Structure 1
Amino acid sequence: MDSDIAHQKRALRAELRERRRNLTSLEREDASAGFTENLQRLVAEVSAQSISCYLSSNNEPNTRPFVNWAAEQGIRVLFPISREDGLLDWTVGNNEDEIEGLAGVPEAVGELLGPIAINDVDLIIVPAAAVDASGLRMGWGRGYFDKTLGSMEKCPPVYAVVFDSEYLEEVPREVHDQPVNGLVTPTRIIAF
């Protein structure tokens, strides 16, 4: 890894974490409603019957109301489960029973389906620290989603969920970084 790029990523991630920590409860509530509405619209646009989506932690864009809505609609939702080898297993758990995963983020509890289970979904919704104008996603540095997306033979549309201020002109790029097909913010959906 180029140390200059690694340093740029660390600095940008620290800035983005601080911005997220400084959001007011009202800003979070408004953003949560916007994320939910736009994610519902995206699911309708791609006619998704099966999706993968992460369980949001406190400072992340809130996916929980959307996940509840998807379950109520009968949409199959796969949740990521982190593994020691850096890959992701999947489960059709719910967002009520959860544990803290290896990466320190919430994970659903349920039967493990293995890494290839994601090949059967119609839409993949991933977390991100930022996304740039070319569709490059910068994650939080663990590489779980880059490895998963990079190993898929046939990948359905992948959308990152970020706050409006995290859609940037450019993010630092490394060879393993995977692009996304679009992003969802509280105010819009952008397809690349």
Structure 2
Amino acid sequence: MHGDLKPSSVHQPYPVAPGMEPEDAKDELRRAIRHQREGRSPRLREEAASAFAEVLATVPAVQEADVVATYAARPTEPGTGALLERLAARGTRILLPVLGAGLARDWAEYTGPDDLLERAPGRPPEPGGQNLGADAILEADVVISPALAVDTSGTRLGQGGGWYDRVLKQARPEVRAVAVVFPEELYDAAERPLPFESHDVRVHAVATPEGWWPLPA
């Protein structure tokens, strides 16, 4: 953790107008953030992935976890390859999502990078081992979740399917959720709040390549 939480508005998209419906605001933000992510070079993505692994290794909930539920990143997302290898090297059991039909949730164990395959265009890489069922999330001691943006109240902007909102509701109540974003995707809730709806689940901490911070979830 690096000092006080001070989000930067530099190069931060915020196409949210007063009076906008939350879902419309979310859609506009998703488009803007995805577009910005596409402009990040492979070299910068690789550097960020290494930094994410270093930062997340200092989060107490991650340090203490025997079982970590996280994700295998798509190309433009904050990279998790270095994190997965770091966790595996210390003997941590790692659960990764397996996407079923619709919003069906499932999990499988990470056994190494060679086992991760993109099962369909646009889907994140998934492990090829045995599916463990949706209830496997109950074994997780911490959830490291993807996000398009997070604000300082803990509001998380996801991809729009609601998958992780459902996952976070199903995890054990004491389990901490840590969202991973690039620095410009951390928003000041007092000045640029992210849209929030009743089904959204706030996260307990946020990590960027520059550090991690607890949030008032």
**TM-score, normalised via structure 1 length:** 0.91
Q: Distance in 2 between matches of 1:45 and 1:91?
A: 19
Against the structure 1 CA distance between its residues 72 and 46, is the aligned structure 2 distance closer, same or farther, given a 3 Å change threshold? closer
Instruction: Kindly provide the amino acid, as one letter, of the partner of residue 100 in structure 1.
Output: E
Q: Distance in 2 between matches of 1:58 and 1:108?
A: 16
Residue 154 of structure 1, CA deviation: 2.5
Q: Distance in 2 between matches of 1:80 and 1:43?
A: 23
**TM-score, normalised via structure 2 length:** 0.81
Residue 27 of structure 1, CA deviation: 2.3
Residue in structure 2 matched with residue 120 of structure 1 by the alignment: 139
Counterpart pick for 2:127 among 75, 97, 108: 108
In structure 2, stretches of 5+ residues that fail to align are: 1-19
Residue in structure 1 matched with residue 71 of structure 2 by the alignment: 54
Q: Do the aligned partners of 1:119 and 1:155 also contact (CA within 8 Å) in 2? A: no
Instruction: Kindly provide the amino acid, as one letter, of the partner of residue 41 in structure 1.
Output: T
Q: Which is higher, the Rg of structure 1 or of structure 2? A: 2
SS of residue paired to 1:110: coil
Q: Distance in 2 between matches of 1:29 and 1:138?
A: 23
Q: Distance in 2 between matches of 1:81 and 1:101?
A: 10
SS of residue paired to 1:189: strand
Against the structure 1 CA distance between its residues 46 and 22, is the aligned structure 2 distance closer, same or farther, given a 3 Å change threshold? same
Residue 155 of structure 1, CA deviation: 4.5
Residue in structure 1 matched with residue 87 of structure 2 by the alignment: 70
Listed one character per residue, the Cα deviations across residues 15-36 of structure 1 (whole Å, up to 9, x for unaligned) are 1111111112332233122101
Identity rate, percent: 32
Q: Do the aligned partners of 1:36 and 1:66 also contact (CA within 8 Å) in 2? A: yes
Residue 93 of structure 1, CA deviation: 3.0
Residue in structure 2 matched with residue 80 of structure 1 by the alignment: 97
In structure 1, stretches of 5+ residues that fail to align are: none
Against the structure 1 CA distance between its residues 28 and 93, is the aligned structure 2 distance closer, same or farther, given a 3 Å change threshold? closer
2:148 aligned with 1:129: yes
Output aligned runs, 1:1-192, within 5 Å: 4-42=21-59, 46-94=63-111, 95-101=113-119, 104-169=123-188, 170-192=193-215
Q: Do the aligned partners of 1:52 and 1:123 also contact (CA within 8 Å) in 2? A: yes
